[in-house]
Amino acid sequence: MVDCVDGADEWVDAMRILLVGPPGCGKGTQARLLQKQFAVPHVSSGDLLRAAVQQGTHLGVQAKRFMDEGKLVPDDLLLDVIGERLGQGDCDKGFILDGFPRTLAQAKALTAMLVRHAAALDHVVSLRVPRQDLVTRLSGRRTCRQCGTMYHVVFDPPATEGQCSRCHGSLYQRDDDREETIVARLDVYDAHTAPLLAHYREQGLLRDIDGGGSRDAVYARVLRGIEDAG
Ligand code: AMP
């Protein structure tokens, strides 16, 4: 948690947390809570890609077809945008990283990026949720276009249908939250991302958390997992 910056005699407190788990496990929701708690930015690879798609950049145009099919965006498209984001000044004191890395190769690329900044991860929080619950959560998920707050049409509906209760922004369903794409995304997670858990467990960084129940109950477990690890 304490890093020496560029070999200088200055020491800074930092908190670098990685959230790992299948689509729909609540990474985005927990990341927003952790971001406030530790006053560090939430960096979501999915959000960065969706912003690129919306802006119609070269990356966005290339990435969209992979995202629409629930497949992984290739590293040669993705790594630069992640490296650039983590290199920005607001990440100096840490970040809550969500959605990246998703493969062992990406995990190695992340380590290399952090080493360049004389930094390392402090905690890898894994959120466990049964597969059937993930499908139910994802297919009912709605997100605010303006502030990113997430709702569920049955379990956590907004006060007014289609409208964010916080900022009154309009709610939308992500293109990849449709049932056929959800199954593809869960299969990709099992095949490519689940092996990361053993990788980070070996490094002593894994905090294995039951992701079932309310947002606040999960958050309490996440904080306990982080505190217990010291
Ligand atoms: P997410 O919002 O994290 O569920 O990501 C949405 C989609 O963006 C994924 O289904 C992938 O197509 C793409 N994506 C996000 N992060 C990555 C990543 N680390 N590697 C490859 N593709 C990614």
User: Is 119 contained in some domain?
Assistant: yes
Residue 171 lies in a domain: no
Instruction: Sort residue 194 into left (φ over 0), alpha (ψ -120 to 50) or beta.
Output: alpha
Distances from the Cα of 182 to the Cα of 55, 57, 129, 148, 221, angstroms:
24, 25, 15, 20, 26
Q: Is the pLDDT of residue 215 over 80?
A: yes
Q: Which residues form the catalytic set?
A: 27, 102, 141, 174, 185
pTM tops 0.85, yes or no: yes
For residue 185 and ligand 1, the question of a CB distance below 6 A is answered with yes
Residue 71: left (phi > 0), alpha (psi -120 to 50), or beta? beta
At 126, is the pLDDT very low, low, confident or very high (cuts 50, 70, 90)?
Answer: very high
Mean pLDDT of the residues in the chain: 92
* pLDDT tens digits along 152-188: 999 999 999 999 999 999 999 998 998 889 999 999 9
Flag whether 136 is in a domain.
no
If we measure between CA atoms, which residue out of 176, 172, 179, 174 comes closest to residue 71? 176
Our count of domains for the chain comes to 1
| Residue 22: cis peptide before it, omega within 30 degrees of 0 | no
Q: What is the mean pLDDT of residues 52-62?
A: 96
Tell me the mean pLDDT in the region 110-121. Answer: 93
Is the minimum distance from the CB of 24 to ligand 1 under 6 angstroms?
Answer: no
What integer pLDDT is reported at residue 37 of this predicted model? 94
CB distance 102 to ligand 1 below 6 Å:
yes
- The residue segments making up the domain with residue 82 are 15-129+192-229
pLDDT at 180: 86
Question: For position 52, which CATH number holds?
Answer: 3.40.50.300
109 Cβ closer than 6 Å to some ligand 1 atom:
no
Asked if residue 4 is part of any domain, the answer here is: no
pLDDT mean over 26-44:
95
In a domain, 30, yes or no: yes
In a domain, 207, yes or no: yes
Closest Cα to atom 12 of ligand 1: 67
The single residue listed with the structure tokens 């960084």 is 205
Q: Quick: pLDDT tens for 81-102.
A: 999 999 999 999 999 999 999 9
174 within some domain: no
Tell how far the Cα of 151 is from the centroid of ligand 1, in angstroms: 20
Q: Is residue 201 in a domain?
A: yes
